[in-house]
Chain A
Amino acid sequence: MSANFKDMINLSGHVAIVTGAGAGIGRAIAETFAKAGAAVMVSDRTAEAAAKVADGINAAAGKATSIACDVTSDVALAAMVDETVKAFGKVTILVNNAGGGGPKPFDMPMDDFTWAYKLNVFSIFRLCQICAPHIEKAGGGAILMISSMAGENKNQRMTSYGSSKAAANHLTRNMAFDLGPKKIRVNAIAPGAIKTQALASVLTPDIEKAMLKHTPMGRLGEPSDIANAALFLCSPAAEWVSGQVLTVSGGGVQELD
């Protein structure tokens, strides 16, 4: 252990898979991890989006490759991990960033409810199952879930999304116990509203002001807020941190409604 935090926040020698990394938070994480020294498998639903991010990383003297991956497909998940090992020899970090969904009426069809779990719970658990033996073989590492404030907040129309994120949070806590003895730490970040391109496209100054009414830090988040927290949690600096859900939200709740 070094007194130099910079030495500990280093990911040299690490190989990271980041899902949903074609844009927004996932992209920022992939780029940040590459800058910190990791080789990165940039995974996204669309091949072009993933390739664009990987190309950018390589052009900036980082190391990345890319793949299209539907995280709800067992076959695609296995192929992604195989490709990573083929390209970089191992896996030591997994960032489960892909996920989604949002408000749904209580009377939603069951398919909608199940979909939230397929995307936000089953997929991340399955990917952890596939990656864990590789990470263990490599001597240990870290798994990170990008969860949501919805996993803790309470509101109407959040039965499916909210409970799926709560499931992801508790999966994180429990998995830490299964994987700790294998030297794999498992944590999650619960982001508040991040000013990604997707959100910026629906923002007006008035909407933004309303969203920030209950946020002590007075601004929306940026992808780098999440990426830097992700770097800390996946790095040797956080070697004794596991089973935690870290809220990165400016201290508040930002709701679009």
Chain B
Amino acid sequence: MPHDPYQRLKSPFSLDDYVVIITGAGGAIGGATAEVLAAAGANVVISDLNLETAQIVASKVTKETGKETLAIKTDVTNEVEQQALVDATLKKFGKITALINNVGWGEYTPLWEVTMDYMMKSYLLNTVSAYSLTKLCLPHLKKQENASVTFSGSAVGTTPSPEFISYSNAKAALLHMSKSIAAMSGPHVRANSIVIGSVDNGEATLKAGYDPEMLRRLAESFVMKRRGAPYDIAYAFNFLLSPAAAWITGVQLDVNGGGSYKSKMPTED
């Protein structure tokens, strides 16, 4: 696809006419990203395991931006549902310009108490599903100007994290996979990862085993002295999807408040 320098110079950060699928979009980061991308002009497909949550996000985004959205229930580990997500997107919006593989989940697990089955399920959810969905979207992405796939990475995938051994493994694999995909998906489709630091995503953080004192220590450990807000991540997605980033592929952009992630979780003492 020939690049269009005039489009980039005129409105380099606009996503007008883009159709973007976001998986795991019912959560705080996914929801904020959907809102920001829609405000920049995109039609967003809000895919989540929980249909009700997806619908709430979709309604909010449409209400606040005026852009049409599509809410859909997807278990990303299920190949039939992956295909249904692609089909529903094409049926409603006629194309796919960008895919954001945002689904990810992990919880605190003592290092030597993880089963092989648990390890494999984490890999399936956090890594393999993203590969499979990307593969399904690729023929459609290739037809669009400035198409891209972006992966939600995590700081636990780049820093030793014994307390999240399965999740961190899977996230590390996801990051490496995004770079391998980028080596061959050009020039039609770019592939990048955003490595997400510690973001205040409300309930999900507490459910994952953090307590307020740990969170306070975390905030202090960042050079910008605060944890992330979902919008911080959303802006980074807007940038990477936009024409402004048309020459960026294969990169890892860490959005983490500047500091390296140091696990403050309790260890064996």
Interface residues in chain A, defined as those with a beta carbon under 8 Å from any beta carbon in chain B: 1-6, 8-9, 176-177, 179-181, 183, 185-186, 192, 215-219, 221-222, 224-225, 228-229, 231-232, 237-244, 246-252
A12 to chain B minimum Cβ distance, whole angstroms, is 16
Within 8 Å CB of A249, what residues of B?
A: 247
Residue pairs across A and B with Cβ atoms less than 8 A apart, 21 shown, are A1-B229, A1-B232, A3-B35, A5-B39, A177-B223, A177-B258, A217-B249, A219-B187, A219-B247, A222-B247, A225-B246, A228-B12, A228-B13, A238-B235, A239-B232, A243-B259, A246-B251, A246-B253, A247-B251, A251-B183, A251-B186
B136 to chain A minimum Cβ distance, whole angstroms, is 21
Residue B8 lies at the interface, judged by CB distance under 8 Å to chain A: yes
Within 8 Å CB of A8, what residues of B?
A: 235
How far does the alpha carbon of A252 sit from the alpha carbon of B186 in the complex, in Å?
10
Given the interface contacts A251-B182, A251-B183, does A228 sit within 8 Å of B245 by beta carbon? Answer: yes
Residue B80 lies at the interface, judged by CB distance under 8 Å to chain A: no
Within 8 Å CB of A238, what residues of B?
A: 235-236, 239
Do residues B223 and A181 form an inter-chain contact, with CB atoms below 8 A? yes
How far does the alpha carbon of A248 sit from the alpha carbon of B244 in the complex, in Å?
11
How far does the alpha carbon of A6 sit from the alpha carbon of B14 in the complex, in Å?
8
B189 to chain A minimum Cβ distance, whole angstroms, is 9
A222 to chain B minimum Cβ distance, whole angstroms, is 6
Do residues B254 and A250 form an inter-chain contact, with CB atoms below 8 A? no
Given the interface contacts A217-B187, A218-B187, A228-B8, does A250 sit within 8 Å of B247 by beta carbon? Answer: yes
Within 8 Å CB of A228, what residues of B?
A: 8, 12-13, 244-245
Do residues B39 and A4 form an inter-chain contact, with CB atoms below 8 A? yes
How far does the alpha carbon of A183 sit from the alpha carbon of B253 in the complex, in Å?
20
The winner among A215, A242, A252 for most chain B CB atoms within 10 A is A242
